[in-house]
Amino acid sequence: MPELQHELRLRKNRDERARANFVGALRRYVHDDMARGLRRVFDAQNAPARSGAEVHALLKPCEYFQFYSALRVTGQDMAYQVVATPIERERATLAARARELAERAPLGTLVLESGFEVPRSVSAIDVHLMPGGYAVEHGPDDLTAGATYDNRLAVSSMGLMGENLDDIGQSIARFLRLRYPAFEPRRFLDLGCTVGHNTGAFKDVYPDTEAHAIDVAAPCLRYALARARSQGRAIHFRQMNAEHLDFPDASFDLVFSSMFLHEIPRRGIARVLREAYRVLAPGGLMLHMELPPNAELAPFDAFYLDWDGDYNNEPYYKPFRALDPRAATCEAGFAPERYLQFVVPSIGGLGAEAWARAVKQDYAVGSAETGRLAPGVRWFCFGAWK
């Protein structure tokens, strides 16, 4: 398993690295080999299914599905377990590194709000089965939740996110640069940034942009600032709820999010989209990398994505995927003819030259192209120009 490429990476001993490698291999086996086996089990049923829910009903009694689900939940829990020990050991060290970076490389800023109320959709749920959730704090200047997220994702993503876990941001930002060469965002906003991994990718591709990123979780933001500083990236982080942005009208040229909208209640999604429209300048772009909606997927692929909603503590997964992103975008104020959606191939999965060739092709969003078991890794995006 590749090590994170920044100064906050954990100093793990040989046993800890071996455990992490084992869990990563287990998850790859479950998500690849067993997932394909699950598809064969479904095909062998030879029963019609018109939706993901119907596929789920057909497979739920099957021992293979039950074993698959048990291993997948266990693997997720183990991913947290294998990072917990080195994080506990290095909690004070992480805080010290953050302070040292603030003195040595005082790039960017962090604003935390006194008395900030973390939404219950975050505070009351251990999303992704993360112990304590994203916003739990263990003392002043705590970075533990951020370190947990970063290191767990490094284990559980099975190398698909790249060494900096920023393949989504790198792929999409480079897609925008290639497809819209005249677009030069002066100010950029990342909604629900967690540890800023994809924020930094946009700063790499658009180095002159003034990069801002928000999240509700203070420990993740502290970690994100130190992480960005260790990589030489000037990013302004702020504790803020994306449903109520504390920015002036027309103040950004690009508003982005990655795997964020499906983490909030459905009524909150409409508020986020309206706020994105409000803070965008004319000619600006709102863009969300997200789970593809039900309408874009075959029933088995819809079932496969919805598994997280049933078994991985993702209560807002399925309501989000039931949305029509075009309709939701237009209801937020964007003109229908300004809507766009596309699928971006992973730059890490192809390499720069092959990726550029692939992007120049017409990537239509289709059921076979956006499912979990489609060839290669691809990121579904939707949004609109203002």
308/317 Cα distance (integer angstroms): 7
384 SS3 class? strand
149/39 Cα distance (integer angstroms): 30
Confidence of residue 200 (pLDDT cuts 50, 70, 90): very high
118/120 Cα distance (integer angstroms): 6
Is residue 220 within 8 A of residue 238, CB to CB? The reply is no
As beta bridge partners, residue 210 has: 187
The 3-state DSSP composition of the chain as helix, strand, coil percent (nearest 5) reads 50, 15, 35
359/339 Cα distance (integer angstroms): 19
* Comparison of pLDDT for 295 and 287, the residue scoring more: 287
Nearest to 34 by CA among 72, 62, 61, 74: 72
Look at residue 132 and tell me whether its pLDDT is greater than 80: yes
The enclosing H or E element of 98 equals helix 63-104
Class of the domain covering 159-385: alpha beta
Across all residues in the chain, what is the average pLDDT? 92
Is residue 223 within 8 A of residue 192, CB to CB? The reply is no
310/56 Cα distance (integer angstroms): 10
pLDDT at 365: 38
pLDDT tens for residues 360-386? 765 543 333 444 444 568 899 999 999
Give the pLDDT mean for 278-301.
94
Report residue 50 as tokens: 């018109």
**HEC-encoded secondary structure of 195-248:** CCHHHHHHHHHCCCCEEEEEECCHHHHHHHHHHHHHCCCCEEEEECCCCCCCCC
- Helices and strands (H, E) in the chain, number of each type: 16, 8
pLDDT at 376: 65
pTM for the full predicted model: 0.94
How many Cα atoms within 13 Å fall on the side-chain side of residue 94? Answer: 31
Residue located via tokens 């291999």 = 25
Report residue 332 as tokens: 């937020």
pLDDT at 364: 43
Nearest to 3 by CA among 168, 204, 230, 155: 155
With the C-alpha atoms ordered 323, 341, 309, 317, is the resulting torsion angle positive or negative?
Answer: negative
pLDDT tens for residues 214-225? 999 999 999 999
12: DSSP letter: -
pLDDT at 251: 98
pLDDT tens for residues 139-156? 889 999 999 999 999 998
Cβ-Cβ contacts under 8 Å for 373 (sequence gap 6 or more): 35, 36, 39, 301, 304
